[in-house]
Structure 1
């Protein structure tokens, strides 16, 4: 009986491991104080890490994590022009509505 309980406990632990490993947030994938973009949705493809310098910057990506402590606005066009959306500090998006071409960092 004891062996059966140990086997059941071990199987339960193993069953939970893949869930824990695959649900890491973008915050854990992007260093504190930085802004990260990925070339593909769901944090796939090549990752780029940026400092939190204020102003308009050329940036590209399909996934974005804002761990900078500053508000950012992402733009569909270059030079911080066109359709846009914001990501607050500590937030992220797994898939942008369109490929990002530029980013404004506020503050």
Structure 2
């Protein structure tokens, strides 16, 4: 009886989990190894752009970013890698940046 109760509780818990978590992770993996990808809309929506650049500062735009470069990247609110910023480690992503990205630095 206890085993059945725990099984039912587990099913009920699984039914309440958000479905978007798996979708977001899948969307982020659509960025090829060695690239940084940006999407024009949040949650990996809109137009996708892929970049394979060496170290430096580059103009970029987007509301979703996936870093598959093997390097650390910093995304900036303003052009020329200036202003508010945050880092995205390799293999990580942001499906909804706090502001539209205007530039990006790739670090060796």
Report deviation, 1:94. 0.5
Q: How does 1:34-53 map to 2 (within 5 A)?
A: 34-53=35-54
Q: Are the aligned partners of 1:33 and 1:68 in contact in 2 as well (CA < 8 Å)?
A: yes
Cα distance in 1, alignment partners of residues 67 and 23 from structure 2? 20
Match of 1:83 in 2: 84
TM-score by structure 2 length? 0.76
Computing the radius of gyration over CA atoms, which structure comes out larger, 1 or 2?
Answer: 1
SS at match of 2:73: strand
Deviations 1:52-93 (A, max 9, x none): 311000000000000000000000000000000000000001
Cα distance in 2, alignment partners of residues 27 and 62 from structure 1? 13
SS at match of 1:103: strand
Query: Hey, which bits of structure 1, 4+ residues long, moved more than 6 A?
Result: none
Which sections of structure 2, spanning at least 5 residues, go unmatched?
1-18
TM-score by structure 1 length? 0.77
Match of 1:58 in 2: 59
Match of 1:15 in 2: none
Report deviation, 1:24. 4.5
Match of 2:95 in 1: 94
State the Cα RMSD in Å: 1.8
Deviations 1:32-65 (A, max 9, x none): 1100000000000000000031100000000000
Match of 2:71 in 1: 70
